[in-house]
Amino acid sequence: MPVVHVALPVLLSRTFDYLLPPGSQPVAGARVCVPWGKQQAIGIVTDYSETSELPLDKLKLIYSTLDHASLFSPSLWRILHWASDYYHYPIGEVLFHALPILLRQGKLAEATPLGQWFATDLGHATLQESLKRAPKQQQALALLKHRPVYRHEVSLLELKESALQALRTKGMIDLRYQLATPQDWRPSLAVLGERLSLNTEQATAVGAIRSQDEQFAAWLLAGVTGSGKTEVYLSVLENILAKGRQALVLVPEIGLTPQTIARFRKRFNAPVDVLHSGLNDSERLAVWLRARSGEVAIIIGTRSALFSPFQRLGMIIIDEEHDSSYKQQEGWRYNARNLAVLRAKEENIPIVMGSATPALETLHNVQRDKYRQLTLSGRAGNAKPAAQYLIDLKGMPLKVGLSPPLLKSMQNHLKAGNQVMLFLNRRGYAPAMLCHECVWIAECKRCDYYYTFHQNQHQLRCHHCDSQLPVPHQCPKCSSTHLVSVGIGTEQLQNGLAPLFPDTPITRIDRDTTSRKGSLEQYLADIHRGESHILIGTQMLAKGHHFPNVTLVALLDVDGALFSADFRSAEHFAQLYTQVSGRAGRAGKQGEVLLQTHHPDHPFLQILLQQSYDAFAQHALSERNSLFLPPYTHHIILRAEDHDNQQAPHFLQQQRNWLETSQLKDDSLWVLGPVPALHAKRGGRFRWQLLLQHPSRQVLQQLVKNLLPLVSTLPQARKVKWTLDVDPIDS
Ligand code: ADP
Ligand code: ZN
Ligand code: ZN
């Protein structure tokens, strides 16, 4: 067949036709270099045919073939095509997204030498004793005597670059660049670390998963933080690895802690690779290649690790499955958890989704028998559940937002030598600044959104478009110099706490303090070493970090979450609350959780505190059901934005008009809009949306499929920026 269809990384929902030079026959899934306008481009062969929509003599020849074999396993190939269709996103973009950057750029799919630290003969002969006064060097040398360490592992293993350089100067270690020699980990596989003896629920869960580990099965492993889910993962992986198969472990974006990785590495003497944001492009390609050749046993990574091409994938684990970072929020808006279930089905292997606070969607899938639930109800070891109290803020005098009972409790916990964690989901000094005379409020003109006051930088910053300006000396309206800030952010909390707890080290973790690469890891390590006693943070601090010495957790302001326009905010609040309260008091220390609110009688709070997350979830699900909201119905949002607030609503209105006349329209279809999006103005653009809701995914998909050809013919399609979000997680 002479015509070859090539997917290119462009935002057009089609492939492009080329002819083959004699003698070349690239397979589907291989990259080719093709003429593209006046330039050349890398594309991926998707298919062949006899004919083309264009006359054959108009087609160009491909320049060259880059791969002899497909870069995609058959299952990944099917999933990516399915996903392109389901998310209505161009196949070229989807296929390229699934490849490491170097392969997108046309680099050959073969290994390159990587930097690796190793102990020299001198290093091996050096006694650990002699480095007593340089503990970091001592630690690094001990590890390097045991095994060489790739440069990209240095930070994850908590080694210090300066210590390595010092050891190198002493001639005890050196750096070499070499091709990793492929090694088969299977013959020597052994469990290194100590296995804990599982409690009854853990043993039941492990038994259930193991009994069906050669076929597709979707498990929800529900268990509070500290109930021993990770121990269950490790136990079931033992069997998978023993069969010579590989495993993929997905974690949330900021849940990738050195402790988690260390636990996997300590348990098995098999290669564990980590896909994290600190890797450079060659290191990413190296991991991709090691997955494909079967050299790596386990890959731990965030969302996009899902697209790793395993040779013998045997199991997928998703930790904190409810986490919103599994949904990509720009470009191709896929949901990695849902695609992972699909991948498990395609590969006919089990998938285990773990969470202390399962997503309502996941619980709904359990109710419908699509997933099976395994529960760990207690905390492993001896940790007792934390005691929980509501503090009614009405009429209370507050110091930097802290009520007297909270301050008292902080003192008690600190006196006992423990750590205290305070949550406030607002970074900056204060969420707004206004004029005391005329009530002018500093507002970002591009966003219709209040500026946040950042005192340390002496700036006003818009948290929507990132624009910033110096704090004005005078009110621009009445020239008064009496400008005041209102509300409390994490920065003010930190400043205000210092005089109240003068001898107590405080660490703040939010997007401002952790913007520098590596700083989050640094702070977390400080906390673990006990160098900080009061921890302040936004929800960033909530995710996946285990601090055994934290015995008091307080949520300073829960009212914002109770009264939100987004129907998911109660779910997200309940998850945050349950996650952070699960952090309080481990390792045999009684924990305490305090919530400050003006609405202690709110039914959600009552159910959550007096019963459980589970009770809350059942309550929320029945409410969603009666309101015809997801997961009982499905959503697709069409979004459009413009500069003049005219084109976008018009553009969406035309789509609405078309939908009204569609043959597929029935009584169950609900179309909302066009309406301005939440925070409609952002970065000088006006954002509008059209929400489609239907109980049947198929109907909704077909409607959109029929609608899209029309959309691209609308004159506004070129003037507005529009996107489509299937199964959105924000509205
Ligand atoms: P999760 O992943 O649910 O947060 P972990 O697996 O990390 O829970 O377990 C929490 C703590 O309890 C860890 O310190 C772990 O070593 C310990 N642990 C887990 N299972 C057991 C067990 N069966 N016996 C004793 N300790 C356990
Ligand atoms: Zn004024
Ligand atoms: Zn702005």
Q: Give the model confidence (pLDDT) of 388-439 as tens digits.
A: 899 999 999 999 899 999 999 999 999 999 999 999 888 888 888 889 898 8
Mean pLDDT of the region 45-73 = 90
Query: pLDDT per residue over 645-685, tens digit each?
Result: 888 999 999 999 999 888 888 889 999 988 888 778 888 88
Pocket test for ligand 1, best of 194, 195, 196 (most atoms within 8 A of CB): 196
Assess whether pLDDT exceeds 70 at residue 507.
yes
Determine the distance from the C-alpha atom of residue 434 to the mean position of all C-alpha atoms in its chain, rounded to a whole number.
36
Which one of the ligands is nearest to 480 CA? 2
Interval between CA 486 and ligand 2 midpoint (Å): 15
Interval between CA 437 and ligand 2 midpoint (Å): 5
Q: Using a 6 Å cutoff on CB, does residue 418 contact ligand 1?
A: no
* Position in ligand 1 atom list of the atom nearest CA 582: 4
Query: pLDDT per residue over 353-402, tens digit each?
Result: 999 999 999 999 999 999 999 999 876 555 667 888 999 999 999 998 99
Assess whether pLDDT exceeds 80 at residue 544.
no
CB count within 10 Å of CB 122 equals 13
Query: pLDDT per residue over 225-244, tens digit each?
Result: 778 999 999 999 999 999 99
Q: Using a 6 Å cutoff on CB, does residue 227 contact ligand 1?
A: yes
Q: Looking at beta carbons, which pairs linking 36-40 to residues 24 or more positions away fall under 8 Å?
A: 36/8
pLDDT at 220: 98
Pocket test for ligand 1, best of 220, 231, 261, 300 (most atoms within 8 A of CB): 231
pLDDT at 43: 95
In three-state secondary structure terms, 248 is: strand
Assess whether pLDDT exceeds 90 at residue 194.
no
pLDDT at 23: 80
Q: Using a 6 Å cutoff on CB, does residue 579 contact ligand 1?
A: no
Interval between CA 453 and ligand 3 midpoint (Å): 13
CB count within 10 Å of CB 121 equals 9
The helix (H) or strand (E) run that includes residue 205 is: helix 200-211
Which one of the ligands is nearest to 257 CA? 1
Query: pLDDT per residue over 92-149, tens digit each?
Result: 999 999 999 999 999 888 877 778 899 999 999 988 888 888 889 998 999 899 888 8
Instruction: Tell me the one-letter amino acid at 337.
Output: R
Assess whether pLDDT exceeds 80 at residue 155.
no
* Nearby residues of 165 by Cβ (< 8 Å), 6 or more positions away: none
Q: Using a 6 Å cutoff on CB, does residue 725 contact ligand 1?
A: no
Q: Using a 6 Å cutoff on CB, does residue 171 contact ligand 1?
A: no
Interval between CA 207 and ligand 1 midpoint (Å): 17
Q: Using a 6 Å cutoff on CB, does residue 228 contact ligand 1?
A: yes
Banded model confidence at residue 569, pLDDT cuts 50, 70, 90: confident
Torsion over CA: 35, 38, 43, 49 (sign): negative
Pick the range with the lowest mean pLDDT from 52-66, 204-218, 308-322, 628-642: 52-66
In three-state secondary structure terms, 682 is: strand
Distances (CA, A) of 332 to 166, 358, 581, 724, 729: 45, 24, 34, 9, 14
Q: Using a 6 Å cutoff on CB, does residue 588 contact ligand 1?
A: no
Interval between CA 479 and ligand 1 midpoint (Å): 60
Query: pLDDT per residue over 316-338, tens digit each?
Result: 999 999 999 999 999 999 999 99
Assess whether pLDDT exceeds 90 at residue 444.
no
Assess whether pLDDT exceeds 80 at residue 583.
no
Specify whether the CB–CB gap between 352 and 187 falls below 8 A.
no
Instruction: Tell me the one-letter amino acid at 727.
Output: D
Specify whether the CB–CB gap between 424 and 489 falls below 8 A.
yes
> Distance between CA atoms of 380 and 396, rounded to whole angstroms?
38
pLDDT at 96: 96
| Residue written as token pair 């935002």 | 11
Q: Going by CA atoms, what residue is nearest to atom 26 of ligand 1?
A: 381
Banded model confidence at residue 150, pLDDT cuts 50, 70, 90: confident
pLDDT at 633: 95
> Distance between CA atoms of 210 and 235, rounded to whole angstroms?
9
* Nearby residues of 589 by Cβ (< 8 Å), 6 or more positions away: 383, 418, 548, 549, 551
pLDDT at 254: 67
HEC-encoded secondary structure of 472-522: CCCCCCCCCCCEEEECCCHHHHHHHHHHHCCCCCEEEECCCCCCCCCHHHH
HEC-encoded secondary structure of 94-153: HHHHCCCHHHHCCCCCCCCCEEEEEECHHHHHCCHHHHCCCHHHHHHHHHHHHCCEEHHH
Instruction: Tell me the one-letter amino acid at 621.
Output: L
HEC-encoded secondary structure of 599-656: CCCCHHHHHHHHCCHHHHHHHHHHHHHHCCCCCCCEEEEEEEEECCCCHHHHHHHHHH
Interval between CA 581 and ligand 1 midpoint (Å): 17
In three-state secondary structure terms, 579 is: helix
* Position in ligand 1 atom list of the atom nearest CA 197: 23
Q: Using a 6 Å cutoff on CB, does residue 545 contact ligand 1?
A: no
CA angle 565, 573, 600 (to 5 degrees): 90
Distances (CA, A) of 286 to 102, 103, 289: 10, 11, 5
Q: Using a 6 Å cutoff on CB, does residue 513 contact ligand 1?
A: no
Chain-wide mean pLDDT for the chain?
89
Interval between CA 679 and ligand 2 midpoint (Å): 25
> Distance between CA atoms of 64 and 20, rounded to whole angstroms?
9
Q: Using a 6 Å cutoff on CB, does residue 380 contact ligand 1?
A: yes
The helix (H) or strand (E) run that includes residue 571 is: helix 569-581
> Distance between CA atoms of 578 and 609, rounded to whole angstroms?
9
Percent of the chain with pLDDT over 90: 53
pLDDT at 195: 79
Query: pLDDT per residue over 252-279, tens digit each?
Result: 876 667 778 888 988 998 999 999 877 8
Q: Going by CA atoms, what residue is nearest to atom 15 of ligand 1?
A: 228
Assess whether pLDDT exceeds 90 at residue 182.
no
pLDDT at 104: 95
Cα Rg of the chain (Å, integer): 28
Q: Going by CA atoms, what residue is nearest to atom 10 of ligand 1?
A: 226
- pTM score: 0.85
Interval between CA 687 and ligand 3 midpoint (Å): 13
pLDDT at 381: 58
Assess whether pLDDT exceeds 70 at residue 725.
yes
Q: Using a 6 Å cutoff on CB, does residue 229 contact ligand 1?
A: yes
Torsion over CA: 579, 581, 584, 590 (sign): negative
Instruction: Tell me the one-letter amino acid at 41.
Output: A
pLDDT at 587: 61
Assess whether pLDDT exceeds 70 at residue 543.
no
Q: Using a 6 Å cutoff on CB, does residue 257 contact ligand 1?
A: no
Closest CA to 594 of 368, 356, 354, 409: 409
Assess whether pLDDT exceeds 90 at residue 205.
yes
Q: Using a 6 Å cutoff on CB, does residue 180 contact ligand 1?
A: no
Helices (runs of H) and strands (runs of E) counted in the chain: 21, 32
Q: What is the DSSP string of 364-424?
A: HHHHTTSSEEEEE-S-STTPPPPEEEEEE-TT---BTTB-HHHHHHHHHHHHTT-EEEEE-
Specify whether the CB–CB gap between 65 and 34 falls below 8 A.
no
Mean pLDDT of the region 536-560 = 82
pLDDT at 201: 94
Percent of the chain with pLDDT over 70: 97
pLDDT at 367: 96
pLDDT at 22: 83
pLDDT at 44: 96
More confident residue, 378 or 303: 303
Assess whether pLDDT exceeds 60 at residue 586.
yes
pLDDT at 588: 67
Pick the range with the lowest mean pLDDT from 176-185, 232-241, 718-727: 176-185
